[in-house]
Amino acid sequence: MGYTVAIVGATGAVGRTIAGKLEERNFPADKVKFLASARSAGTKVQFRGEEHTVLEAVPDQFDGVDIAFFSAGGNVSKALAHEAVRRGATVIDNTSAFRMDPDTPLVVPEVNRDVLQHHKGLIANPNCSTIQMVCALEPIRKKFGLERVIVSTYQAVSGAGAEAIGELGRQGTDMEGRAQSDAALLPVKAGSKHYPIAYNAIPQIDSFGEDGYTLEEWKMINETKKIMGMPDLRVSATCVRLPVVTGHSESVYFETGNPEADTESVRAALAGADGITVMDDPEAQIYPMPLFAEGKDDVFTGRLRKDPDVPGAFHLWVVSDNLLKGAALNSIQIAEALIADGAVKGEGADGTRQHINGDGHAIR
Amino acid sequence: MGYTVAIVGATGAVGRTIAGKLEERNFPADKVKFLASARSAGTKVQFRGEEHTVLEAVPDQFDGVDIAFFSAGGNVSKALAHEAVRRGATVIDNTSAFRMDPDTPLVVPEVNRDVLQHHKGLIANPNCSTIQMVCALEPIRKKFGLERVIVSTYQAVSGAGAEAIGELGRQGTDMEGRAQSDAALLPVKAGSKHYPIAYNAIPQIDSFGEDGYTLEEWKMINETKKIMGMPDLRVSATCVRLPVVTGHSESVYFETGNPEADTESVRAALAGADGITVMDDPEAQIYPMPLFAEGKDDVFTGRLRKDPDVPGAFHLWVVSDNLLKGAALNSIQIAEALIADGAVKGEGADGTRQHINGDGHAIR
């Protein structure tokens, strides 16, 4: 007895990755419905060796759905997520539509799994660049405390969708003509100006607010505070798009406020945390890089070192696959935690349909 | 009556750029000698419409040279710079060999031109990533003070020499095979491991010290303190190599310690400074990018914004051509300042051979 699952945005980069990961992790789904916009309806997708036709995402499609993963953009989530909840589905939304809604839990299972107990049918999956950072900071916070974070990001184009990968590929073949490359997508498709990303670094992800910060930067600031349950944490961010296909990197500076924290014990805290791989051996030139984090589940950390002047403050380099832990994998881990904790909507607290062990991994 | 100039490392990326800029700026050179290693001797170079043969850099070549630009690596400078000084030349060294030597001025003319008065024949040109940062910080320090700097860099491959550009070009044409690209140069040619730079970000520039920082990071920390004359300034850095041909970018966080500093007045301080161009109109998507800073002399600044939590603290995005202001141009500006200030070695304080006006620009 498994679950009926829907994937909304099934033809997009994240939707496809969700399907692949459901299969790979033996997620207890009896049935998976592939949904998308009218434009993409009719597309065929492969799942568990069978071909499935993508259907148009309309409210009635959520009848009988237990768990719905949304990753078709904020407007689709705003239009359909509550319709799905009303029909009995538990929605895990991968857009920014509800992340800062006080009634919607914003969850990275390694950090704040407990808040899943209080959901009302809708759970938000955080922004990709936020997820990998809080995964790295949480074990440090637990052991030493955390007072301040200053992050500069190095973000991959796949965060802007599959089309952006194609644009980078076309531009990349012409290094000589790089300054004249055609650009139609980045930094923001709907924006008035587009710049080549190949052989460039664009200090804009998402649109600008009035204060000079981009929405991506505010996501990192506000979502980090919400997920970590630290409304007064000082966080500030600069977000930059790079000519990298997949894999976000982050230069994270943090102050624990704890002069007892030393490099070795911080590294040990990271090494002992779920979902973190420490790659930190400078002499052997071992450190995380996005090119080698692609396709991997973990958050990779390295280059840990003390601030020369400020006790208890450190630099850390954090890399993860933005489509996996940054999106699809975290969404599925939320679903697995819901099942394990008996918190899929409509179930009793005893989780009568529980097919997942306490670690959130599927039991065959 | 002009100067006799030598360029040591005349066949390298910086040496060639020095020659081009000497020509473009009408530098008052009667004669230019092109010097390089025995391996490159015999190479032909064009200068002022004439072909010149590159000669081997040996001590006797510096007889009669007034100003020698060195950019052939630290070992060449260690072997020959003092030989050149002994023969009467004023040496402007673009390597790290003497930068932290207390007897050697380390100069960015916009910041500490005054220390040129005390040189002993040898002047060091700072590291590329340091130069553009101190250019941006100095006008802010002057007006508001400066207490702390945290920088993450986004550095171009041309900083690793002309060969590295070729390697990026070859790797860039094969996005699909990116994880298997041949790599023989980066991050450090003499290192034991090499990683592809195309579609990647490598958090290592230069080799590692025992404390987990790279030498590039220590250069940014120590050179900034020396140039700005602030031994107690708190500076910390993370340096990252990117698939960008030319143009270093920096995410610079700084605390002025002055709660009166606001975005508008900091931006005005930058706009009024020599050698700085402010490109900062988020709504119109105007901000500096390395692809468009290539070939330009200025240091470009943008994305200035206040830290949401810390009064008097700001983020700034700083971009400049690492071969120009980061190397060749700054070296020539040092020479122009020496001439204008009558401080070329062997001259009287009245600068009898002065052909340069007070702004350091050549007079025809």
Q: Write out pLDDT tens, residues B285-340.
A: 999 999 999 999 999 999 999 999 999 999 999 999 999 999 999 999 999 999 99
Residues A231 and A270 in one domain: yes
* pLDDT at residue B268 in the model: 98
Residues A85 and A176 in one domain: no
Catalytic positions of A are 128, 248
Residues B292 and B330 in one domain: no
Which residues of chain A lie closer than 8 angstroms to B235, CB-CB? 309
In a domain, A204, yes or no: yes
> Which residue's entry shows tokens 């031994």?
B231
Res. B208: pLDDT tops 70:
yes
B94 DSSP 8-state letter: -
* pLDDT at residue A359 in the model: 41
**Under an 8 A CB cutoff, do B303 and A187 touch?**
no
* pLDDT at residue B357 in the model: 35
Q: Among candidates B159, B243, B167, which has minimal Cα distance to B201?
A: B243
A300 in contact with chain B, both atoms CB, cutoff 8 A: no
A159 assigned to a ligand binding site? yes
* pLDDT at residue A362 in the model: 36
Confidence class of residue B351 from pLDDT cuts 50, 70 and 90? very low
Q: Which of A242, A290, A315 lies nearest to residue B236, judging by beta carbons?
A: A315
Helix segments in B96-238, DSSP class H: 109-112, 128-144, 162-172, 215-228
Degrees, nearest 5: CA angle A35-A36-A40: 125
Residues in chain A: 364
**Under an 8 A CB cutoff, do B191 and A242 touch?**
no
- Distances from the Cα of B254 to the Cα of A211, B236, B266, B304, angstroms: 17, 11, 12, 11
In a domain, A193, yes or no: yes
DSSP-assigned letters across all residues of B274-296: TTEEE--BGGGTB---HHHHTT-
Residues A152 and A24 in one domain: no
Asked about B248 being catalytic, the answer comes back as: yes
In a domain, B351, yes or no: no
Rg for chain B (alpha carbons), in Å?
A: 20
Least Cα separation, residue B245 to chain A (angstroms): 6
CATH number at residue A19: 3.40.50.720
Which residue segment(s) compose the domain that B237 sits in?
130-321
**Nearest-angstrom CA–CA distance, B138 and B140:** 5
Q: Among candidates B247, B226, B81, which has minimal Cα distance to B153?
A: B247
**Under an 8 A CB cutoff, do A249 and B303 touch?**
no
**Nearest-angstrom CA–CA distance, A148 and A213:** 18
Number of separate domains in chain B: 2
Residues A201 and A160 in one domain: yes
**Under an 8 A CB cutoff, do B172 and A199 touch?**
yes
Residues B180 and B88 in one domain: no
Residues B70 and B165 in one domain: no
Helix segments in A254-349, DSSP class H: 263-271, 290-293, 329-340
Residues B253 and B272 in one domain: yes
A127 neighbors A99 (Cβ within 8 angstroms): yes
A189 in contact with chain B, both atoms CB, cutoff 8 A: no
* pLDDT at residue A56 in the model: 98
**Under an 8 A CB cutoff, do B169 and A187 touch?**
no
**Under an 8 A CB cutoff, do A317 and B203 touch?**
yes
Instruction: Say if strands A234-238 and A248-255 run parallel, antiparallel, or are unpaired.
Output: unpaired
In a domain, B361, yes or no: no
**Nearest-angstrom CA–CA distance, A173 and B53:** 35
**Nearest-angstrom CA–CA distance, A262 and A359:** 30
* pLDDT at residue A210 in the model: 87
* Secondary element (H or E) of residue A22: helix A13-24
Res. B265: pLDDT tops 50:
yes
Residues B150 and B272 in one domain: yes
Mean pLDDT in runs of 10 for chain A (364 residues)?
94 94 97 96 96 98 98 96 97 97 98 96 98 98 98 97 94 95 96 98 96 98 98 98 98 98 98 98 98 98 97 98 97 98 67 38 34
Helix, strand and coil in chain A, % to nearest 5 = 35, 25, 45
Q: Write out pLDDT tens, residues B118-131.
A: 999 999 999 999 99
Q: Report the residue of B238, B254, B296 to disrupt the A interface, i.e. the one with the largest count of A CBs within 10 Å.
A: B238
B31 neighbors B5 (Cβ within 8 angstroms): yes
Residues B164 and B261 in one domain: yes
- Distances from the Cα of A164 to the Cα of A36, A220, A246, A323, B96, angstroms: 19, 22, 11, 14, 40
In a domain, A354, yes or no: no
Residues B294 and B160 in one domain: yes
Task: Give me the torsion for CA of A175, A178, A181, A183, rounded to 10°.
Answer: 110
**Nearest-angstrom CA–CA distance, A181 and A178:** 5
Chain A: residue whose CA lies nearest to B304:
A212
- Strand partners for B150: B236, B253
Degrees, nearest 5: CA angle A221-B257-B137: 85
**Nearest-angstrom CA–CA distance, A83 and A16:** 23
* pLDDT at residue B346 in the model: 56
In a domain, B281, yes or no: yes
B108 neighbors B224 (Cβ within 8 angstroms): no
Q: Among candidates B83, B85, B79, B110, which has minimal Cα distance to B97?
A: B79
Q: Which of A178, A243, A287 lies nearest to residue B204, judging by beta carbons?
A: A287
Confidence class of residue B355 from pLDDT cuts 50, 70 and 90? very low
ipTM: 0.94
Instruction: Say if strands A50-53 and A148-154 run parallel, antiparallel, or are unpaired.
Output: unpaired
A74 neighbors A191 (Cβ within 8 angstroms): no
In a domain, A348, yes or no: no
Residues A305 and A335 in one domain: no
* Secondary element (H or E) of residue A299: strand A299-306
Res. B45: pLDDT tops 50:
yes
**How many other C-beta atoms lie within 10 A of the C-beta of residue A154?**
27
* pLDDT at residue B348 in the model: 37
A218 in contact with chain B, both atoms CB, cutoff 8 A: no
**Nearest-angstrom CA–CA distance, B103 and A54:** 73
CATH number at residue B179: 3.30.360.10
**Nearest-angstrom CA–CA distance, A244 and B45:** 37
In a domain, A103, yes or no: no
Q: Which of B203, B211, B235 lies nearest to residue A287, judging by beta carbons?
A: B203
Res. B154: pLDDT tops 60:
yes
Q: How many CA atoms lie within 13 A of A88 on its CB side?
A: 12
> Which residue's entry shows tokens 């020095």?
B18
**Nearest-angstrom CA–CA distance, A209 and A207:** 7
How far from each other are the two terminal CA atoms of chain B, in whole angstroms? 12
